Structure 1
Amino acid sequence: MTPDLADTTITVAHVIHSLGAGGAEAVLVELARVAPPAGLRMVVIGLSDVHTSVGVDNRVVPQLRAQGVAVFELHSPRYDAFAALRVARILRAERVDIVHTHLKHADVVGGLAARLAGVPAVSTLHVIDKATSRRHRLRVRAALSARRRLARTVIALSQAQRRWYTETAGEHVPITVLPNGVNEPEMTWDRASVREELGVAPDGLLAVCVSLLRPEKGHSDLLEAMRTVPGEPPLTVALAGDGPLLDQITATVDSDPSLRERVRILGFRSDIGDLIAACDFVVHPSREDALPTALISALAAARPIVATTAGGITDIVAPDCGVLVEPGAPAALGAAITDMARIVEEGGPRLQRIENAARQRYQAIFSATTWASRLQDLYRQVIAGGDDAALRRRIALVQFQPSGGLFHFALQLGEGLARAGEDVDVITGPTPEFASRVPGCRVRSILPTWHPNAGENAPEWWRRARRGVRGVQHTAAWVVLLGYLLARRPDVIVWSYWQFPLDGVGVQLIRRLVPRAVLALVSHEPRPLVRRREHEGMYHTASVTKSALTQAYADLDVAFVLGETARQTLLKTWPVSAPVHIIPHGDEGLLAASVPPADATEPVALAFGIITRYKGTDTLCDAWPLVLKVLPEAELVIAGAADTDIDRHELRMRVSRLERVRLDLGYVPTPEVASYFAAARCVVLPYKRSSQSGVAHLAHTFARPVVASRVGDIPTAVDDGVSGLLVPPEDPEALADALIRLLSDPAEARRMGDAGAQALSTRASWDEVAARFLQALPDRRR
């Protein structure tokens, strides 16, 4: 039963143990709202009944039917030997194309029924099922065995869940990371009415915890934490949800006057959207959790979050969306709740950044429409007969140098692609500066290349002689890379830059040896920069290099740039016939650390990053005496390694003739980066030419304003008068005036620094970068 997948709706039978209260059941209701536009027809089969004191709990049945879902309730006992036969009859009658099972009992029954009906099955892991006894361990292993035999692939909701499953089942089991989505919250009450119902004072704050009342959800930790939270600002915490601990938690609150005053036990609520919209922040104290959808709803409503790092919570809550603490630590939870209450009470840029980051993360990853679209893609691939290798693209990100800004970009892009479910290798040189933090993204240091700062203090004669040595290393790197690509056969190969003739020859070889691979380039600088002091100007391309690279650019299947100016430059410089897409530059989260605000610093300006001709250090040196005439107490710090087009001796001599200037010549190790930005009131980028600047994003990561030249795509990163000041290039007087403005006004510097950090949080998530990257990739697997 294989439909014409390009033109028909896919009929999916969701088999679940019951249709009462629970996270998995609620997920089906969310999916039902967005399934039809995604080309999905849903059939839901509930196997057993959940009995409560008031009868059978089948509360999601009317909700599903209201969305046009065909619902079948079998009312089977737990161990009904004929349940699979009954489900199979339904599958045939409904002409089902694929079965999607939820939770252990349904995995077995639904998987067997799919076999009987001759259709494929997939299974979603809704929990992290850690064995607590020998008997429990046997059940977990039995469920694992059933999934491996009956489901074509298993869907993990988070990276934590994927790690748990592969630790038990093995690294090579078919598994796809695909988080659930949530629809936009629907409001039925206004905010004021909800808060009045809960007894929240007009000047008080409201936090909401939405979760089933079970031991692993950590409600006891939350109650203990509330005992430590100060009375000011006044805070009310509302617990929404029912479950086996409802009576116990209610009794605990009723018996403690301090808790009774501040905690509301709401039981089951059908108006979760209203509660989240009415609150000031959301609390989630779980000790175990796969992917709590209440936190996704909090992101959708742009609400700050206080949660633990348990299970898949960190897949939902990025550090810029709230505060995370270790699970099972009431004191830390209480401190986090206190901090968040103060942030909300103060309002201002910090709260705005959190709210913007939360909303942006929802839209990029967790919206229900995105979820339904990804499910549809998965279903089509499974129905077409794809195995696990076909469900995930193998992507190789080639970054020859294992440190510096381009390596940081490649690694963080790779991690974003892995979070999106792809299989990623970052191919680089020895002793890389960072390892990957995300399963599914690996840093493979197999290339015999070098660090950008290697030998920077070597004498001049050696710096010239080693060009031949590095030429041999680069050749060897291409030999290793070709061998890896031939063995691995990735679906997508991505480079950060090309600059030597061998790069062009290597790309042409790959085009012929791995013809089905998509060849891509993230062009940070479309024109080759000057690499030697004897060359004039900013850019230089030898005729041999230009000839070799011309064919490489012509062989591209897709190219990416970081701004419109770079796009136009790329198209004018090289014969690119492939689509050229603009993607944003993510933040510099790899280097982020807590630093004081800009107004807590002395009047220090920082010029940071590799020192090369086009970055305009000479213009900065001309401007600095003009700054000191107005601000004699100001200080300039120039920190970074000198590139090969810079005469280090001449640079030292020039700086030595200036007052109150410190030159820290050399590559800045990662642990020291934050200290430079912590001491600076502003960051200066006096570029003569540039397509973009990672340093501008780094400055905004540390909430520092930027003084920069108005060149290339810098204006897309620095909003003039908002997150920094833009000046004409090679204009010392204008550069000095802008530096004086920020160095002499701490409040202005903080306002612009905060604005830069806020803008970065809303437009530069690496998950969004990865999503745009994937949308633009051609797919040659079909």
Structure 2
Amino acid sequence: MSRPLRVVHVITSLTTGGAERQLELLVARSANETATIALYAGGPVADSMRRSGQRVDVLGLSGWRRFATPFVLASRLRAYRPDVVHVHLLSAQLWGIPAARLAGTPVVVSTEHSLMDDTIEGRPHTWWLRLLYRGLERMTTRTVAVSETTSERLQRWGVDADRITVSDNGIDFDGLAFDNAARWRVRRELDINDDTVVVGAVGRLDKVKRLDTVVRACAPLLHAGRVLVVAGTGPLGPQLRQLGEELGVSGSIRWLGARDDVSDVLSATDVLVSASGDETFGMAVVEGVANGLPVVYVQCPALEELSTEIPSATRLPAPTTSSADAEALRAAVESVASRLRRWPVPTALVERYGADAAAARVDDVHAVLVAEGSGRGTG
């Protein structure tokens, strides 16, 4: 096919989050003619995509209107007439896959971003959820896994290996490079002195990210004059703030909420921590390494799947008890903070996870499937 493919991406919302930002990165670098449909809400990611000239359509479906989603979306897809519909995240899979089939789209692709060992997007694994997922998967042409770890989990869920393509997430290494001017700008914004050691955490404020462990681990350090900066939103925000107050360190924690300048926040940070023990890729950890930060983490498949050691990254044991985990994390952060430096970004990391290569891989998946003409699941 000589012309660019018409590809419509369908996602739950475009507010903030790793999958949303990954979609923005891939669409911006795609060689195809793309459009993105958010089922429920827009937000910072949608605004950023529009500013860069991307076509974004927010349906704003909520409440009882969600049950009409397959029909509303199918109508919209018929107007787009895409060669490929590519869905992201569970709600978009639930509504978007049937809608694409109703619209007669020849190729339907689903990317799995958030299948953990025990949960999927914060929902516990249940027999009926697995049954639903398997049924939806059989309606697709192909499932894309964002890491080898994700592919292995999909296979344990019963997805056939020959229906999975691994396409690692992409990282904008140039955009994440350390910026000294941004460092001082963000510190002034947050009222943080130039010589204060800043511990950073980036991620959704929900149970799987274990930010309560981060707060407990950092509390003794914060009493010593350091500052914890947390970028992200989520349902546990009020509880985490309350925990900071109970530990007497609320004045040393900056809760930033959603940010569209994560690279600048990383530049203002001295060490990045991630206590999450259940990740599909570990985007925040890789972005910290891309910024040159020393990183303390529990799980990051992206680093663990590399054959090269990352000297700036300190991996902790798998989660055990909350108090033991907090103590191990505190000791690691304190050790790193005593010898702070900015690290060069490993070449192996850039070669494997560069954004342009990631976008080209997804384009190749679309091109191969369209060329094969295989639009229906084989089950």
Normalised to the residue count of structure 2, the TM-score between the two structures is 0.84
Equivalent position of 2:46 in the other structure: 61
Relative to 1, partners in 2 of residues 1:133 and 1:198: Cα closer, same or farther, differing over 3 Å?
Answer: closer
Q: May I ask how many residue pairs the two structures share in their alignment?
A: 360
Instruction: Measure how far apart 1:171 and its partner are.
Output: 5.3
Matched, 1:76 2:61: yes
Relative to 1, partners in 2 of residues 1:170 and 1:21: Cα closer, same or farther, differing over 3 Å?
Answer: closer
CA contact (8 A) 2:28 2:54 kept: no
Matching of residues 602-641 of structure 1 within 5 Å: none
Aligned residue for 1:146, secondary structure, equals helix
Matching of residues 191-590 of structure 1 within 5 Å: 191-229=183-221, 235-257=226-248, 259-260=249-250, 262-309=252-299, 314-315=304-305, 318-328=309-319, 329-344=325-340, 347=341, 355-356=343-344, 358-385=345-372
What per-residue deviation string (whole Å, max 9, x for no partner) do you get for residues 574-613 of structure 1?
xxxxxxxxxxxxxxxxxxxxxxxxxxxxxxxxxxxxxxxx
Give the residue type in structure 2 aligned to 1:102.
H
| Residue 17 (structure 1) aligned to one of 12, 15, 37 | 12
Give the residue type in structure 2 aligned to 1:306.
V
Q: 1:190 and 1:17 mapped to 2: Cα distance?
A: 31
Matching of residues 86-101 of structure 1 within 5 Å: 86-101=72-87
Percent of counterpart pairs with the same letter?
Answer: 24
CA contact (8 A) 2:82 2:105 kept: no
Structure with more contact order per residue of length (Cα contacts < 8 Å, sep ≥ 6): 2
Relative to 1, partners in 2 of residues 1:261 and 1:58: Cα closer, same or farther, differing over 3 Å?
Answer: closer
Give the residue type in structure 2 aligned to 1:209.
A
Instruction: Measure how far apart 1:155 and its partner are.
Output: 1.2
| Residue 163 (structure 2) aligned to one of 167, 174, 188 | 174
Matched, 1:30 2:20: no
CA contact (8 A) 1:194 1:274 kept: yes
Instruction: Measure how far apart 1:222 and its partner are.
Output: 0.7
Q: 2:60 and 2:194 mapped to 1: Cα distance?
A: 49
Give the residue type in structure 1 aligned to 2:151.
R
Larger radius of gyration: 1
Aligned residue for 1:343, secondary structure, equals coil
Matched, 1:159 2:128: no
Q: Which runs of 5 or more structure 2 residues have no equivalent in the other structure?
A: 320-324, 375-379
Instruction: Measure how far apart 1:264 and its partner are.
Output: 2.3
Q: 1:275 and 1:73 mapped to 2: Cα distance?
A: 28
Equivalent position of 1:602 in the other structure: none
Equivalent position of 2:94 in the other structure: 108
Relative to 1, partners in 2 of residues 1:380 and 1:135: Cα closer, same or farther, differing over 3 Å?
Answer: closer
Q: 2:147 and 2:268 mapped to 1: Cα distance?
A: 28
Relative to 1, partners in 2 of residues 1:318 and 1:200: Cα closer, same or farther, differing over 3 Å?
Answer: farther
CA contact (8 A) 1:228 1:331 kept: no
CA contact (8 A) 2:69 2:95 kept: yes
CA contact (8 A) 2:241 2:250 kept: no
CA contact (8 A) 1:286 1:327 kept: no
Relative to 1, partners in 2 of residues 1:78 and 1:104: Cα closer, same or farther, differing over 3 Å?
Answer: farther
Instruction: Measure how far apart 1:157 and its partner are.
Output: 1.3
Aligned residue for 1:31, secondary structure, equals helix
CA contact (8 A) 1:155 1:177 kept: yes
CA contact (8 A) 2:200 2:273 kept: yes
Equivalent position of 2:106 in the other structure: 119
Q: 2:17 and 2:124 mapped to 1: Cα distance?
A: 26
CA contact (8 A) 2:10 2:96 kept: yes
Q: 1:314 and 1:189 mapped to 2: Cα distance?
A: 32
Q: 2:124 and 2:287 mapped to 1: Cα distance?
A: 37
Instruction: Measure how far apart 1:189 and its partner are.
Output: 5.4
Relative to 1, partners in 2 of residues 1:217 and 1:133: Cα closer, same or farther, differing over 3 Å?
Answer: closer
What per-residue deviation string (whole Å, max 9, x for no partner) do you get for residues 685-721 of structure 1?
xxxxxxxxxxxxxxxxxxxxxxxxxxxxxxxxxxxxx
Equivalent position of 2:38 in the other structure: 46
Q: 1:221 and 1:134 mapped to 2: Cα distance?
A: 20
Instruction: Measure how far apart 1:311 and its partner are.
Output: 5.8
Give the residue type in structure 1 aligned to 2:168.
P
Q: 2:231 and 2:124 mapped to 1: Cα distance?
A: 33
Q: Which runs of 5 or more structure 1 residues have no equivalent in the other structure?
A: 50-56, 388-782
Moved more, 101-110 or 180-189: 180-189
Give the residue type in structure 2 aligned to 1:48.
Y
Q: 1:285 and 1:330 mapped to 2: Cα distance?
A: 9
Q: 1:228 and 1:247 mapped to 2: Cα distance?
A: 21
Q: 2:86 and 2:180 mapped to 1: Cα distance?
A: 32
Relative to 1, partners in 2 of residues 1:364 and 1:212: Cα closer, same or farther, differing over 3 Å?
Answer: same
Q: 1:231 and 1:48 mapped to 2: Cα distance?
A: 42
Structure 1 residue ranges, 4+ long, deviating more than 6 angstroms after superposition: 132-135
Q: 1:72 and 1:221 mapped to 2: Cα distance?
A: 38
